[in-house]
Amino acid sequence: MNTREHIMEVSMRLFAENGFESTTVRDIAAKARVNLALINYHFESKEGLLRQLIEQRAQMMQMNIREIAADHEMSEPDKVKRIIDHYVEKLFSNHLFHRVVYQEIFLKNRSDIHAHTHDIFAENARLFASIIKNGVKKGYFAPVDADLCFSTLRSEEHTSELQSRETI
Confidence class for position 154, pLDDT limits 50, 70, 90: low
Average pLDDT of the chain is 86
- How many other β-carbons are positioned within 10 Å of the β-carbon of residue 137? 11
pLDDT the model gives residue 102: 80
Taking 80 as the threshold, does the pLDDT of residue 164 lie above it?
no
- What is the per-residue pLDDT for 160? 47
Residue 61 has a pLDDT of 86
Q: Is the pLDDT reported for residue 114 higher than 80?
A: no
- Give 5-57 pLDDT, tens digit per residue: 999 999 999 999 999 999 999 999 999 999 999 999 999 999 999 999 988 88
127-139 pLDDT, tens digit each = 999 999 999 999 9
Q: How confident is the model at residue 123 (pLDDT cuts 50, 70, 90)?
A: confident
Give the mean model confidence (pLDDT) for residues 73-90: 93
pLDDT value, residue 95: 86
Considering only CA atoms, which of 157, 158, 134 is closest in space to residue 146? 134
In angstroms, rounded to a whole number, what is the distance separating the alpha carbons of residues 64 and 104?
A: 23
d(CA 129, CA 146): 5
